[in-house]
Amino acid sequence: MKIELKKLVLDRPGGIRAVDGISCVFDSDACSAMAVLGVNGAGKSTLLESIPGLVPIRSGAILVNGLNVEPKNLTAIRRQIGMIFQNSDDQLFSQTVREDVAFGPRNLKLPPDEVRDRVRSALEQMNVSRLAERDVTRLSGGEKRRVALAGVLAMRPAAILLDEPTSMLDPRACRELAEHLNELPTLKIIATHDLTFAKRACPECLILQTGKIIAQGKTAELLDRHDLLLSCGLE
């Protein structure tokens, strides 16, 4: 899976330039997990949301396995990309955990047996099988996050975009989430300002500041550079 951003410019309502000419490549053959780091307002969410076509492109281009992100390709592109939003409450809406995880595969019009198998394996993978019959609104933050991820995994996407996945998680849940993600061979792009989590889950990272990439490279190396972290407000 390969996602390419070419001189990408994205504006938010009110003319705010959230992403200001970014070029980069996310390629699962080169690096299976890339962190997108930056302080609040740096443009991380806007960047992530633009990949499945949720933010209009002002100029430049996004290519998903060679397909241009534009209206006529969005169905094909969204089939390959799963997104975990910052707030899991925006993502979970069925009555039970099982129903919620089944929603995506059913939407793909898969046969019922296949839906059942995928739901079972996604619940197992995220370690939430015991929650299958629970009400999604009555789960802890960490449980909701894992259920949301199970719902995305059940779609078998080629890439997963995660927006601030550790917000609302306690330290142990953060560590477990990083371990779960490390076991997934799928391409992951993870927006976060949680540097400990980024080090655990992402071998490489890029750092955004006011919509521009100011540094890119190995996470362990970049996050050792205190001058850099200070200058971009990450420490």
Return the one option of ligand ADP, Mg ion, none that residue 41 interacts with (CB less than 5 to 8 A, by type): ligand ADP
Q: How far apart are CA 45 and CA 178, in angstroms?
A: 20
Contacts to Mg ion from residues 35-64, by CB under 5 A: 44-45
Contacts to Mg ion from residues 188-227, by CB under 5 A: none
Return the one option of ligand ADP, Mg ion, none that residue 42 interacts with (CB less than 5 to 8 A, by type): ligand ADP
Instruction: Please work out the total of residues on this chain that contact ligand ADP, with binding judged by CB under 6 A.
Output: 13
Q: Residue 56 Cβ, how far from ligand ADP at the closest point, in Å?
A: 12
Listed residue (56, 58, 110) closest to 79, CA to CA: 110
The yes or no reply on residue 43 touching ligand ADP (CB under 6 A) is: yes
Q: Residue 117 Cβ, how far from ligand ADP at the closest point, in Å?
A: 35
- Which residue, 43 or 142, is less far from ligand ADP as judged by CB? 43
Contacts to ligand ADP from residues 2-41, by CB under 6 A: 12-14, 16, 18, 38, 40-41
For residue 128 the two structure tokens come to 């939430």
Return the one option of Mg ion, ligand ADP, none that residue 38 interacts with (CB less than 5 to 8 A, by type): ligand ADP
- Which residue, 42 or 149, is less far from ligand ADP as judged by CB? 42
Q: Which own/partner contact pairs does 89-96 have at CB distance under 8 Å and 24+ positions apart?
A: 89/144, 91/148, 91/151, 92/136, 92/137, 92/144, 92/147, 92/148, 92/151, 93/136, 94/136, 95/135, 95/136, 96/132, 96/133, 96/134, 96/135, 96/136
